[in-house]
Chain A
Amino acid sequence: MIARIRIQRAGPLCTVQDLGRPGHLAHGVSASGPMDRAAYILAGMWWEASDDAGVEFTQAGIDIVLEAGQLPVGWAGGVFAVRLNGELLSWPGKCTLAAGDRLSVTPGPAGNYGYLRFGGTMNVPDVLGSKSTSTRARLGGLAGRALQTGDFLEFQGEHGRPDGAVPPTPNAEAKGPIHFIWGIHAEKFAPAVRRNFVEVPFRVSAAMDRMGVRLVDENGVFAGASILSLISDPIMPGDIQILGDGTPIVLMRDHQPTGGYPRIGTIVSADLDRFAQIRPGETVAFAPVSVDHAHRLLGSRKA
Chain B
Amino acid sequence: METLSEQTLRGGNRDWPHLPQIVPLGDSALLVRFGQSLDDAANRAALAFAARVQSDAIGGVSEVVPSLVSVLVRYDPTVIGPVRLAGELGLRLDSNGMQENTQVQHIAVRFDGPDLAEVAGVLGLSPDAFVAAHNRSGLRVLTTGFAPGFVYCGLHDSALTVPRRALVRPVVPAGSVLFAAGQTAITSTEVPTGWHVIGHTDFRNFDALQNPPTRLRAGDELIFEVVP
A292→B147 contact, CB < 8 A: no
Which one of B69-77, B107-115, B116-124 is at the A interface?
A: B69-77
A-B CB proximity, top 4 nearest: A258-B145, A266-B26, A294-B27, A234-B72
B-chain residues with CB within 8 Å of residue A24 when the two chains form the complex = 213
B5→A27 contact, CB < 8 A: no
Range for the number of chain B residues in contact with chain A: 35 or more
B213→A128 contact, CB < 8 A: yes
**Interchain nearest-CB distance for A300 vs B (Å):** 13
Given that A234-B145, A266-B26 are known contacts, is A27 also in contact with B206, CB under 8 Å in the complex?
Answer: yes
Inter-chain CA distance A235–B69, complex, in Å, is 14
Residue among B9, B28, B70, B206 making CB contact with A269, cutoff 8 Å: B28
A231→B68 contact, CB < 8 A: yes
- With a 10 A CB-CB cut-off, give which of A236, A266, A267 has the most chain B CB atoms: A236
Given that A23-B63, A231-B35, A258-B67 are known contacts, is A28 also in contact with B150, CB under 8 Å in the complex?
Answer: yes
Which one of A35-43, A159-167, A179-187, A241-249 is at the B interface?
A: A179-187
| A-B pairs with beta carbons under 8 Å apart, 15 shown | A23-B62, A25-B63, A26-B144, A27-B148, A138-B189, A187-B10, A231-B37, A232-B146, A233-B33, A236-B29, A257-B145, A258-B145, A266-B27, A291-B6, A294-B27
**Interchain nearest-CB distance for B152 vs A (Å):** 8
Asked if A135 is at the interface (CB within 8 A of a chain B CB), the reply is no
List B1-34 residues whose CB lies under 8 Å from chain A.
2-6, 9-10, 14-15, 23-29, 31, 33
B-chain residues with CB within 8 Å of residue A25 when the two chains form the complex = 63, 65, 72
Given that A25-B65, A128-B213, A137-B189 are known contacts, is A258 also in contact with B82, CB under 8 Å in the complex?
Answer: no
Given that A232-B67, A269-B27 are known contacts, is A292 also in contact with B3, CB under 8 Å in the complex?
Answer: yes
Asked if A268 is at the interface (CB within 8 A of a chain B CB), the reply is yes
List A242-284 residues whose CB lies under 8 Å from chain B.
256-258, 266-269
Asked if B38 is at the interface (CB within 8 A of a chain A CB), the reply is yes
- Determine the residue in chain B with the shortest Cβ distance to A31: B63
B146→A233 contact, CB < 8 A: no
Residue among A28, A239, A290 making CB contact with B147, cutoff 8 Å: A28
A-chain residues with CB within 8 Å of residue B148 when the two chains form the complex = 27-29, 137, 139
CB-based A-B contact count at 8 angstroms:
130
A26→B26 contact, CB < 8 A: no
Residue among A128, A269, A290 making CB contact with B4, cutoff 8 Å: A290
Asked if A119 is at the interface (CB within 8 A of a chain B CB), the reply is no
**Interchain nearest-CB distance for B31 vs A (Å):** 6
B145→A232 contact, CB < 8 A: yes
Asked if B66 is at the interface (CB within 8 A of a chain A CB), the reply is yes
- Determine the residue in chain B with the shortest Cβ distance to A268: B27
B213→A233 contact, CB < 8 A: no
B149→A27 contact, CB < 8 A: yes
A128→B208 contact, CB < 8 A: yes
Asked if B182 is at the interface (CB within 8 A of a chain A CB), the reply is no
Asked if B162 is at the interface (CB within 8 A of a chain A CB), the reply is no
A22→B77 contact, CB < 8 A: no
Asked if A298 is at the interface (CB within 8 A of a chain B CB), the reply is yes
Asked if B103 is at the interface (CB within 8 A of a chain A CB), the reply is no
Residue among B2, B14, B70, B147 making CB contact with A234, cutoff 8 Å: B70
B-chain residues with CB within 8 Å of residue A28 when the two chains form the complex = 144-150, 188, 206, 214
A231→B38 contact, CB < 8 A: yes
**Interchain nearest-CB distance for B75 vs A (Å):** 11
Inter-chain CA distance A137–B67, complex, in Å, is 19
Inter-chain CA distance A216–B143, complex, in Å, is 33
Inter-chain CA distance A294–B15, complex, in Å, is 25
